[in-house]
Amino acid sequence: MIHSIFVQVYVIKIYTIYKVSNGDNMPEFDFKGKKYNNPVELSLEVIGGKWKMPIIWRLKDDSKRYGELKKLLPGVTHKMLTQQLRELEEGEIIIRKVYPEVPPKVEYSLTLLGKSAIPVIDMLREWGEEYRSVFIK
Protein backbone atom coordinates (compact mmCIF):
# COMPACT_ATOMS: atom_id res chain seq x y z
CA MET A 1 0.00 0.00 0.00
CA ILE A 2 2.71 2.50 0.98
CA HIS A 3 4.73 1.58 -2.12
CA SER A 4 1.70 2.30 -4.29
CA ILE A 5 1.04 5.71 -2.72
CA PHE A 6 4.70 6.69 -3.01
CA VAL A 7 4.86 5.68 -6.66
CA GLN A 8 1.61 7.47 -7.50
CA VAL A 9 2.65 10.74 -5.83
CA TYR A 10 6.10 10.81 -7.38
CA VAL A 11 4.93 9.70 -10.80
CA ILE A 12 2.49 12.61 -10.79
CA LYS A 13 5.21 15.05 -9.65
CA ILE A 14 7.77 13.80 -12.15
CA TYR A 15 5.26 13.63 -15.02
CA THR A 16 4.08 17.18 -14.31
CA ILE A 17 7.65 18.48 -14.26
CA TYR A 18 8.48 16.49 -17.38
CA LYS A 19 5.42 17.75 -19.28
CA VAL A 20 6.08 21.37 -18.34
CA SER A 21 9.78 21.37 -19.10
CA ASN A 22 10.33 18.89 -21.92
CA GLY A 23 7.10 18.22 -23.76
CA ASP A 24 6.51 14.63 -24.83
CA ASN A 25 9.74 13.76 -26.60
CA MET A 26 13.38 13.31 -25.70
CA PRO A 27 15.26 13.78 -28.97
CA GLU A 28 18.77 12.65 -29.81
CA PHE A 29 21.25 15.47 -30.29
CA ASP A 30 24.95 16.31 -30.62
CA PHE A 31 26.65 18.47 -28.03
CA LYS A 32 30.33 19.38 -27.96
CA GLY A 33 31.13 16.62 -30.45
CA LYS A 34 29.31 13.86 -28.58
CA LYS A 35 25.96 12.24 -29.36
CA TYR A 36 23.35 12.03 -26.61
CA ASN A 37 20.14 10.01 -26.68
CA ASN A 38 18.31 12.55 -24.51
CA PRO A 39 18.86 15.54 -22.20
CA VAL A 40 18.85 13.32 -19.11
CA GLU A 41 21.92 11.49 -20.42
CA LEU A 42 23.73 14.83 -20.85
CA SER A 43 22.64 15.99 -17.38
CA LEU A 44 23.93 12.81 -15.76
CA GLU A 45 27.25 13.14 -17.55
CA VAL A 46 27.66 16.71 -16.29
CA ILE A 47 26.54 16.28 -12.65
CA GLY A 48 26.11 12.52 -12.22
CA GLY A 49 28.33 10.02 -10.49
CA LYS A 50 29.20 9.35 -6.88
CA TRP A 51 31.04 12.59 -6.10
CA LYS A 52 29.92 15.39 -8.42
CA MET A 53 26.60 16.15 -6.73
CA PRO A 54 28.09 16.02 -3.23
CA ILE A 55 30.82 18.44 -4.39
CA ILE A 56 28.24 20.80 -5.88
CA TRP A 57 26.13 20.56 -2.71
CA ARG A 58 29.12 21.45 -0.50
CA LEU A 59 29.79 24.53 -2.64
CA LYS A 60 26.19 25.80 -2.66
CA ASP A 61 26.67 28.37 0.10
CA ASP A 62 30.27 29.50 -0.36
CA SER A 63 33.60 28.73 -1.97
CA LYS A 64 35.88 26.07 -0.51
CA ARG A 65 39.52 25.15 -0.73
CA TYR A 66 40.58 21.68 -1.84
CA GLY A 67 41.42 20.57 1.72
CA GLU A 68 38.02 21.71 2.99
CA LEU A 69 36.25 19.71 0.29
CA LYS A 70 38.38 16.67 1.05
CA LYS A 71 37.37 16.84 4.74
CA LEU A 72 33.70 17.32 3.86
CA LEU A 73 33.70 14.26 1.58
CA PRO A 74 34.88 11.30 3.65
CA GLY A 75 35.90 8.38 1.49
CA VAL A 76 36.84 10.33 -1.63
CA THR A 77 40.40 9.73 -2.79
CA HIS A 78 42.76 12.51 -3.84
CA LYS A 79 42.74 11.21 -7.41
CA MET A 80 38.93 11.03 -7.62
CA LEU A 81 38.35 14.45 -6.05
CA THR A 82 40.87 16.03 -8.42
CA GLN A 83 39.28 14.31 -11.43
CA GLN A 84 35.74 15.28 -10.44
CA LEU A 85 36.74 18.91 -9.79
CA ARG A 86 38.40 19.07 -13.22
CA GLU A 87 35.33 17.62 -14.94
CA LEU A 88 33.04 20.06 -13.14
CA GLU A 89 35.34 22.91 -14.16
CA GLU A 90 35.37 21.73 -17.79
CA GLY A 91 31.58 21.58 -17.69
CA GLU A 92 31.52 25.17 -16.37
CA ILE A 93 29.73 24.06 -13.21
CA ILE A 94 32.49 25.32 -10.91
CA ILE A 95 35.22 27.96 -11.09
CA ARG A 96 38.73 27.28 -9.88
CA LYS A 97 40.34 30.50 -8.65
CA VAL A 98 44.09 30.52 -8.06
CA TYR A 99 45.49 33.31 -5.87
CA PRO A 100 49.04 34.52 -6.58
CA GLU A 101 50.45 33.53 -3.20
CA VAL A 102 53.16 31.27 -1.88
CA PRO A 103 52.11 28.61 -1.15
CA PRO A 104 49.40 28.77 -3.82
CA LYS A 105 45.85 29.23 -2.61
CA VAL A 106 43.08 27.69 -4.73
CA GLU A 107 39.35 28.05 -4.15
CA TYR A 108 36.42 26.38 -5.85
CA SER A 109 32.99 27.99 -6.22
CA LEU A 110 29.83 27.43 -8.24
CA THR A 111 29.11 29.24 -11.49
CA LEU A 112 25.58 30.35 -12.32
CA LEU A 113 25.17 27.05 -14.18
CA GLY A 114 26.35 25.21 -11.07
CA LYS A 115 23.90 27.11 -8.89
CA SER A 116 21.10 26.17 -11.27
CA ALA A 117 21.79 22.49 -10.45
CA ILE A 118 21.04 22.98 -6.73
CA PRO A 119 17.23 22.67 -7.05
CA VAL A 120 17.68 19.53 -9.17
CA ILE A 121 19.98 17.99 -6.55
CA ASP A 122 17.60 19.06 -3.79
CA MET A 123 14.73 17.34 -5.61
CA LEU A 124 16.81 14.17 -5.96
CA ARG A 125 17.63 14.32 -2.23
CA GLU A 126 13.93 14.66 -1.43
CA TRP A 127 13.07 11.76 -3.74
CA GLY A 128 15.79 9.62 -2.16
CA GLU A 129 14.46 10.32 1.33
CA GLU A 130 10.92 9.41 0.25
CA TYR A 131 12.17 6.28 -1.50
CA ARG A 132 14.14 5.22 1.58
CA SER A 133 11.17 5.86 3.87
CA VAL A 134 9.11 3.36 1.89
CA PHE A 135 11.43 0.57 3.01
CA ILE A 136 11.98 1.68 6.63
CA LYS A 137 9.48 0.15 8.99
Asked whether the whole model's pTM tops 0.85, one would answer no
Residue-wise pLDDT tens digits, 70-84:
999 999 999 999 999
> Over 80: is that where the pLDDT of 126 sits?
yes
Give, in order, the Cα–Cα distances in Å from 65 to each of 50, 61, 87. 20, 13, 17
Residue-wise pLDDT tens digits, 18-64:
555 555 577 889 989 999 999 999 999 999 999 999 999 999 999 99
**Predicted pLDDT at 23:** 54
> Over 60: is that where the pLDDT of 67 sits?
yes
**Predicted pLDDT at 1:** 45
> Over 90: is that where the pLDDT of 16 sits?
no
Q: What is the CATH number of domain 2-135?
A: 1.10.10.10
**Predicted pLDDT at 26:** 73
Domain spans in the chain, listed from the N-terminal domain onward: 2-135
**Predicted pLDDT at 92:** 97
Residue-wise pLDDT tens digits, 89-117:
999 999 999 999 998 899 999 999 999 99
